[in-house]
A and B are shown apart, each in its own frame.
Chain A
Amino acid sequence: MNHAASNSLVIAEAAKCIGCKACELACFAVHNRDNGVGTAVGTVTMPVLPRLYVIRTDSFTMPVQCRQCENAPCAGACPVQAIRQQDGVIAIDAEACIGCKACALACPFGAISLYKAYSGGAELPQPLLQERRDSRLQRKTRITAYKCDLCRNTELPGGSAAGEGAGGRGSSAAAAQDRNPFPACVAVCPEKALRLVEAGTGRSRSLNREGGTF
């Protein structure tokens, strides 16, 4: 599965996208189950934080997301080595991230955003820094870099936690079963405009050129 030569990635076809943002919502929901999103439990008090972005210009509409670059400039720019090649994707370790924005600046696709961190539906405060909010000093919310992780660390709806590949919980077969077979955006798109290009499938097909300039 984990082909050393190329990472998997999700790619969109502008010729099919209608700009409905179902992918953004699905991405947000699948990554925030712990925050009560996409279930009836709790209240969604957080803003929609997707990891792919429907871009609409004069001549095209399509979601843009991380390309899982082989020689990732974001990883090169990270001063704390929080971005690594891991299991066929480029992964950000949110725990280690210091929110310096170097990766977001380095990314040529604009695929990395810095968002507030949430836990249990509430903003996650950091231990040290404080800021004045509502005229009193409060602990500043932790802010980290987020990008597409191909839903590697998400749960299947109603399922258990996704496996972490070899060396994760239990056997890798069980892990593969738990893992989302498709990234949420690919599964949800009503136009089938998104697809997962699997690692090791050889050539990565270029974007349908029609997409740009009708």
Chain B
Amino acid sequence: MENKVLTVCPYCGSGCQLYLLVENGQVVGAEPADGRTNEGNLCLKGHYGWDFLNDPQLLTSRLRKPMIRKEGVLQEVSWEEAIGFTAEKLNAIKEKYGPDAIMGTGSARGPGNEANYVMQKFMRAVIGTNNIDHCARVCHGPSVAGLTYSLGDGAMSNSIPEIENTDLLLIFGYNAAVTHPIVARRIVKAKQKGAVLIVADPRKTESARIADTWLPLKGGTNMALVNAFGHVLIEEELYDKDYVSNFVQGFDEYKANVEKYTPEYAERITGVRAADIRKVMRQYAKSGKAMILYGMGVCQFAQAVDVVKGLASLALLTGHFGRESVGIGPVRGQNNVQGSCDMGALPNVYPGYQSVEDAKIRKKFEKAWGTSLPDKTGYRLTEVPHLILKENKIKAYYIFGEDPVQSDPNAAELREALDQLELVIVQDIFMNKTALHADVILPATSWGEHDGVYSSADRGFQRIRKAIDPPGEVKPDWQIISEVSTAMGYPMAYKNSEEIWDEMRKLCPSFAGASYSKMEALGGVQWPCPSEDHPGTPYLYQGNRFTTPSGKGQLFACEWRAPLEQPDDEYPLTLSTVREVGHYSVRTMTGNCRALSQLSDEPGNIQISLEDAAEHGIADGQLVQVYSRRGHIMARAQVSGRIKKGATYMTYHFWIGACNELTVDYLDPVSKTPEFKYCAVRIEAISDQAQAEALVRKQYAELRKQMLVGAVPE
């Protein structure tokens, strides 16, 4: 008996719809569906990334029963004991240290919007704190902050399908071929249809390879280049004077700030030819429709929010808003990172981006949730290690569907912080590096095992559906949180995810009309969707009305700041963390898909230039040692002519070659997003390759043992 279940891919934020093929209660394949963004196409993760549901135990093992650490060892317990223990501990810590000593996360991955809504409600209404945040902090946090300031909404202004119909694409620090193959398809199609393609990236990415102009800027010089762009628009009077005077504020200050950033001055900083800077801005300003796409190459710097505002300013100066195929697109990298932001898994906003500091809004939520709510912004995810180790402020950490030890910078410090806490709760689908530090583990259902809604990168609410029954004794995330809440004295009981969704819609004006039945009928709904009869909104800022307090777009420029940790004699190379196409984030899912893990496996690669490889005597494919001031790891050298001398790149998916043992935890002052894209490292060749290979195999075996691989499932 084979049946097909329509759902949404659980990997990047492209929001591809697919059918899961189910036979005898097992997923046996995936087929592309005709979704709004993917139109019958999938990348290799969509095609082969479902296999983890079958728990093949390659990298780690599926969590099937709740566990509590007793005498230092995690032991399986009943749900009753696990929920009771968690509630009692949380109550005791709240009692002893106050609610702000407890931190919680949302999850931008499998759980979906309903679970995130329940989680932030739990932290705010039950614990009594706004200390909730999630991995957007380490990715598009700067977009949320910067675009909210400049335009009013922190999401993509336009939709993924519109990309292919633009006249010009400016792609900045964004490698779509690797991060969003289905968005890359639109870029390829735009090019085929005659659009001009401009790519600013230190690496020769696939988009750079097919670009009309590639601007190979030096890593960490974004602001100087963006300022020079603005300088040219003003100096050559390319900007739209009418548009600026009608819809934009802050021009004089902006003009003064970009004054000194002549293309020649910027060339000295960025290495990009002044003539190219002028050429691309003339093209951008004169295009009927021009779109900016950007990614982590903008956001993962200590100067990120400024650059986001700077990019938005370019579109404001030239009037590229309020129509199809224009605007600015921070393409969200996780299937539901847009959704966890939408649902208020952030320390400063309730669901629907409603401020926790606004008394009127707070009253609305207090009334709905029947309790008083805290009024000050909570802690941010990336401040947690410091708050634990230096300020002694956090005592309990409820980690829901995240693996910070693998995904966050400076892993050693994070491990130390977790071990200092009185209570670490891990709620997840697989054993992971963070779970090794947990006091209690709550096993949850995975994508494919529950219903819900994901938000795609372009603000598209889409239904995910249950295809198979979950293994063991696992429960849906929202049910687990509800049970902990009830045990703590705040009863929560939902019948299904739709009931949660409807409660959320009543409280969020911009999501109010996006009912399950409407999603069913239309295949998805793009917010804002204020009422039942509203069809959704493919592009924002129609009529050039921005959602800023003044209703106008805000221009912004400021001085360029160099990244904080600069290379020196001891650590002469720079390291930037990136992604690769066949794996995903912390790899608990793709690392447990047989085909995907065969394609690329531990210890992961470090991409280096031909020159640096020759200088160190390193051949392609050899294992090397990589050191930074924070740690050292082994990885496999990937020697490439597409990399600049002095720069190296590692993907953050691998557990043995874990680049976050090396990365630095410097943060953007506004968004608190770490500088993943720049730290100093040293690389050393290994003379005895056979011994190194054996060591990798040994480390892999040890890891799998730690991850309880081979423990016989019932």
B24-81 residues at the A interface, CB under 8 angstroms: 26-29, 38, 41-44, 47-48, 51, 54, 56
Q: Which residue of B lies closest to A45 (CB)?
A: B594
Is B421's beta carbon under 8 Å from chain A?
no
> Across the interface, which residues of A come within 8 angstroms of B42, CB to CB?
22, 188, 190
Is B641's beta carbon under 8 Å from chain A?
yes
Q: Which residue of A lies closest to B599 (CB)?
A: A48
Q: In the complex, are the beta carbons of A39 and B642 less than 8 A apart?
A: no
Q: In the complex, are the beta carbons of A18 and B599 less than 8 A apart?
A: no
Nearest Cβ distance between residue B299 and chain A, in whole angstroms? 22
Chain A 39-81: CB-based contact to B (< 8 A → 1; otherwise 0): 1110110111000000001111100000000000000000000
Number of chain B interface residues as a range: 35 or more
Among A23-31, A95-103, A132-140, the stretch in contact with B: A23-31
Chain B 641-662: CB-based contact to A (< 8 A → 1; otherwise 0): 1100000000000000000000
Q: In the complex, are the beta carbons of A59 and B598 less than 8 A apart?
A: no
A214-B206 contact, Cβ under 8 Å, with A24-B599, A37-B595, A39-B29: no
B interface: dominant SS = helix
Is B465's beta carbon under 8 Å from chain A?
no
> Across the interface, which residues of B come within 8 angstroms of A193, CB to CB?
188
Q: In the complex, are the beta carbons of B28 and A39 less than 8 A apart?
A: yes
Nearest Cβ distance between residue B488 and chain A, in whole angstroms? 40
Is A168's beta carbon under 8 Å from chain B?
no
Q: In the complex, are the beta carbons of A38 and B29 less than 8 A apart?
A: yes
Q: In the complex, are the beta carbons of A19 and B192 less than 8 A apart?
A: no
Q: In the complex, are the beta carbons of B188 and A16 less than 8 A apart?
A: yes
Bound Cα distance A46, B598 (Å)? 8
Among B84-92, B176-184, B373-381, the stretch in contact with A: B176-184
Q: In the complex, are the beta carbons of B177 and A157 less than 8 A apart?
A: no
Chain A CB within 10 A, most for which of B54, B56, B182, B206: B206
Q: In the complex, are the beta carbons of B595 and A28 less than 8 A apart?
A: yes
Q: In the complex, are the beta carbons of A58 and B641 less than 8 A apart?
A: yes
Set A25, A29, A43, A60: member contacting B209, Cβ < 8 A: A60
Set B38, B54, B188: member contacting A191, Cβ < 8 A: B188
Bound Cα distance A19, B181 (Å)? 9
Q: Which residue of A lies closest to B596 (CB)?
A: A25
Is B423's beta carbon under 8 Å from chain A?
no
Nearest Cβ distance between residue B584 and chain A, in whole angstroms? 13
A61-B29 contact, Cβ under 8 Å, with A44-B598, A191-B185: no
Chain A 4-42: CB-based contact to B (< 8 A → 1; otherwise 0): 000000000001111111101110110000000111110
> Across the interface, which residues of A come within 8 angstroms of B596, CB to CB?
25
Chain B CB within 10 A, most for which of A17, A22, A193: A22
A18-B28 contact, Cβ under 8 Å, with A25-B595, A190-B42: no
> Across the interface, which residues of A come within 8 angstroms of B595, CB to CB?
25, 28-29, 37-38, 44, 48
Nearest Cβ distance between residue B562 and chain A, in whole angstroms? 29
Chain B CB within 10 A, most for which of A19, A41, A192: A19
Nearest Cβ distance between residue B148 and chain A, in whole angstroms? 31
> Across the interface, which residues of A come within 8 angstroms of B192, CB to CB?
15-16
B569-599 residues at the A interface, CB under 8 angstroms: 581-582, 594-596, 598-599
Q: In the complex, are the beta carbons of B206 and A47 less than 8 A apart?
A: no
Nearest Cβ distance between residue B704 and chain A, in whole angstroms? 15
> Across the interface, which residues of A come within 8 angstroms of B48, CB to CB?
25, 29, 38
Is A167's beta carbon under 8 Å from chain B?
no
Chain B CB within 10 A, most for which of A17, A40, A188, A191: A40
B158-206 residues at the A interface, CB under 8 angstroms: 176-178, 181-182, 184-185, 188, 191-192, 204, 206
Q: In the complex, are the beta carbons of B181 and A40 less than 8 A apart?
A: no
A interface: dominant SS = loop
Nearest Cβ distance between residue B212 and chain A, in whole angstroms? 8
Bound Cα distance A191, B582 (Å)? 16
Is B2's beta carbon under 8 Å from chain A?
yes
Bound Cα distance A46, B184 (Å)? 30
> Across the interface, which residues of A come within 8 angstroms of B176, CB to CB?
18
Nearest Cβ distance between residue B512 and chain A, in whole angstroms? 35
A25-B599 contact, Cβ under 8 Å, with A43-B56, A190-B182: yes
> Across the interface, which residues of B come within 8 angstroms of A22, CB to CB?
42-44, 47, 181
> Across the interface, which residues of B come within 8 angstroms of A18, CB to CB?
176-177, 181, 184-185, 188, 206, 581
Bound Cα distance A188, B595 (Å)? 15
Q: In the complex, are the beta carbons of A37 and B44 less than 8 A apart?
A: no
Is A202's beta carbon under 8 Å from chain B?
no
Is B211's beta carbon under 8 Å from chain A?
yes
Q: What 15 additional pairs, Cβ within 8 angstroms, besides A44-B598, A46-B598?
A: A18-B176, A19-B206, A20-B581, A20-B582, A21-B582, A24-B599, A38-B29, A38-B48, A39-B28, A43-B594, A158-B2, A188-B42, A190-B43, A191-B185, A214-B209
**Chain A residues engaging chain B, CB cutoff 8 angstroms:** 15-22, 24-26, 28-29, 37-41, 43-44, 46-48, 57-61, 157-158, 188, 190-193, 214
8 residue pairs A–B, Cβ–Cβ below 8 Å: A15-B210, A18-B185, A22-B47, A40-B27, A41-B28, A58-B641, A190-B181, A191-B188
> Top 10 nearest A-B pairs by Cβ distance?
A18-B177, A44-B594, A22-B44, A58-B641, A190-B41, A48-B598, A40-B26, A40-B28, A18-B206, A18-B184
